[in-house]
């Protein structure tokens, strides 16, 4: 959220009160737009796609760590079994491919442990970590199976199907990445077969490669359907979360979100000894305005007030909210009464100028009660005092600001 000084906000409101209100483009718009547009290609708009991938990584991280732990354990057992199976201590190693088998298995185990167990796992995105580790394991597993076959040693070739299908486990990867990773053991097995197997030992090898290749679309279909459902749930959850925290008409924060944010802001201001203001704002004679111009004009007036307030609450700790009906609240953090006074006056003028149903009509006016928290006051105490000041503005003629 861009930072802006109150002086900037004052000029923004006062210099051209007839300028059009800013568009209320929100995350909810992005969720709904994407939902309506569809996502059959498993791709969202760039900003939403980044949010989705972060959410996917956080959601699948526990499962990915479990899969990683199981993989390291099984891989370590295979690494030890390689030394026993080849009887390294008695026979030694006399060919480069067997050296590759032993070093590749042990080296992959070491690198995977470094990436997964050490703090590096926090520095690398989960999706990238999964791709690196999985590709290493897939390449070495496929190549080792071919090396064993080239030496006439029985190997569980069918187990490579598990390696291919495992790419679609919840590892924090999207399906497009899982498809690429699942092809890695297929390609590795094909290349190793060409380089290491002769006509005799290679019989049936390309039948195995074909079976591995067929496992990719089978796993991919399941992964596609799962991610499609997951993306749908992500959008629905985002839409519901927005609806639970924001007013549907004005897109300002609702009372629930405002209370949570304002409580935290007051506590932070008390710790850092920074000023903070709470302004209660109410549209004057709103029922009469509705009766005269219609509810559509009334809704436009509410949105105009919201847009004017949104221009003020542009810093991270500021917040504008619609409390209900025609009542609003504005929290300005790091601002004292002297600096806020011209801003709130400019807000009154902007609302008046931008809420005219027709050029010849008069726009609505607003009454404001604004206060600074006293030492030790909680949100409810500040809220009550600001509400009393708002009531004073109402009883003293409306269209005014009462400070306290």
Which tens digit of pLDDT belongs to each residue from 302-339?
999 999 999 888 888 999 999 999 999 999 999 999 99
* Identified catalytic residue from 49, 59, 227, 326: 326
Q: Which of 93-102, 176-185, 252-261 has the lowest mean pLDDT?
A: 93-102
Kind plus residue range of the DSSP H or E element containing 298? helix 295-312
Q: Domain check: are 53 and 195 in the same one?
A: yes
Q: Domain check: are 190 and 257 in the same one?
A: no
Q: Domain check: are 212 and 313 in the same one?
A: no
Q: Domain check: are 233 and 254 in the same one?
A: no
Q: Domain check: are 187 and 273 in the same one?
A: no
What is the domain count for the chain?
A: 2
Residues 168-188 as b/e (b if ≥16 CB within 10 A, e otherwise) read bbbbbbbbebbbebbbbbbeb
Phi and psi at 280, nearest 5°, equal -100, 135
* 387 found inside a domain: yes
Q: Domain check: are 121 and 48 in the same one?
A: yes
Q: Name the average pLDDT for the chain.
A: 87
Phi and psi at 82, nearest 5°, equal -60, -45
Q: Domain check: are 195 and 293 in the same one?
A: no
- Specify the CATH number for the domain of residue 262: 3.30.70.270
Residues 371 and 318 sit within 8 Å (Cβ to Cβ): no
CA 174 and chain centroid, separation = 15
User: Which of the listed residues 181, 213, 243 is the one where a domain comes to its end?
Assistant: 243
Which tens digit of pLDDT belongs to each residue from 124-166?
899 999 999 999 999 999 999 999 988 888 877 778 999 999 9
Q: Domain check: are 149 and 235 in the same one?
A: yes
Q: Domain check: are 239 and 254 in the same one?
A: no
Q: Clarify whether 326 is annotated catalytic.
A: yes
* 10 found inside a domain: no
Q: Domain check: are 228 and 258 in the same one?
A: no
- Start-to-end Cα distance in the chain: 30
Residue span of the structural domain in which 53 resides: 34-243
Close Cβ partners of 212 (under 8 Å, ≥ 6 residues apart):
160, 161, 164, 185, 186, 189
Strand 366-371 and strand 401-403: the pairing is: parallel
Residue 402: exposure state from Cβ atoms within 10 A (0-12, 13-18, ≥19): buried
253 in the Ramachandran plot: left (φ > 0), alpha (ψ -120 to 50) or beta? beta
User: Which of the listed residues 215, 243, 271 is the one where a domain comes to its end?
Assistant: 243
CA–CA distance, 144 with 213 (Å, rounded to integer): 18
Q: Domain check: are 120 and 136 in the same one?
A: yes
> Using alpha carbons only, what angle is made at residue 211 by residues 205 and 213, rounded to the nearest 5 degrees?
105
pLDDT of residue 22: 35
pLDDT of residue 167: 94
CA–CA distance, 242 with 26 (Å, rounded to integer): 9
Strand 319-324 and strand 276-283: the pairing is: unpaired
Q: Domain check: are 231 and 370 in the same one?
A: no
């Amino acid at each position: 959220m861009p930072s802006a000084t109150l002086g900037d906000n004052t000029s923004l409101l006062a210099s051209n009160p007839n300028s059009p209100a800013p568009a209320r483009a929100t995350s909810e718009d992005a969720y709904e737009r994407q939902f309506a547009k569809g996502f059959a290609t498993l791709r969202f708009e760039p900003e939403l796609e980044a949010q989705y991938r972060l959410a996917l990584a956080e959601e699948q991280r526990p499962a990915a760590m479990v899969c990683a732990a199981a993989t390291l354990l099984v891989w370590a057992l295979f690494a030890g079994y390689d030394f026993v199976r080849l009887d390294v201590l008695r026979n030694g190693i006399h060919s480069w491919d067997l050296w590759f088998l032993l070093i590749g298995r042990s080296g992959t185990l070491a690198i995977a442990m470094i990436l997964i167990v050490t703090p590096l796992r926090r520095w690398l995105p989960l999706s990238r970590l999964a791709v690196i580790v999985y590709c290493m394991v897939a390449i070495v597993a496929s190549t080792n199976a071919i090396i064993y076959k080239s030496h006439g040693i029985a190997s569980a070739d069918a187990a490579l199907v598990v390696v291919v299908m495992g790419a679609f486990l919840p590892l924090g990867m999207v399906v497009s990445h899982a498809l690429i990773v699942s092809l890695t053991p297929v390609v590795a097995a094909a290349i190793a077969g060409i380089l290491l197997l002769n006509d005799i030992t290679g019989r049936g090898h390309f039948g195995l490669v074909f079976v591995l290749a067929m496992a990719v679309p089978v796993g991919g279909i399941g992964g596609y359907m799962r991610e499609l459902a997951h993306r749908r749930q992500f959008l629905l959850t985002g839409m519901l979360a927005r609806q639970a925290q924001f007013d549907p008409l004005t897109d300002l924060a609702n009372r629930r979100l405002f209370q949570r944010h304002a409580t935290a802001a007051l506590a932070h201001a008390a710790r850092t000894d920074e000023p903070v203001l709470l302004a209660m704002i109410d549209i004057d004679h709103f029922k009469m305005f509705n009766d005269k111009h219609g509810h559509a004009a009334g809704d436009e007036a509410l949105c105009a007030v919201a847009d004017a307030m949104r221009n003020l609450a542009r810093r991270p700790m500021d917040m504008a909210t619609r409390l209900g009906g025609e009542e609003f609240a504005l929290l300005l953090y790091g601002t004292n009464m002297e600096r806020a006074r011209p801003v709130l006056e400019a807000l009154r003028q902007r609302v008046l100028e931008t809420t005219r149903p027709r050029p010849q009509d008069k726009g609505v006016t607003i009454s404001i009660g604004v206060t600074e928290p006293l030492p030790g006051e909680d949100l409810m105490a500040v809220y009550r005092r600001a509400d009393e000041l708002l009531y004073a503005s109402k009883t003293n003629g409306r269209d005014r600001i009462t400070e306290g």
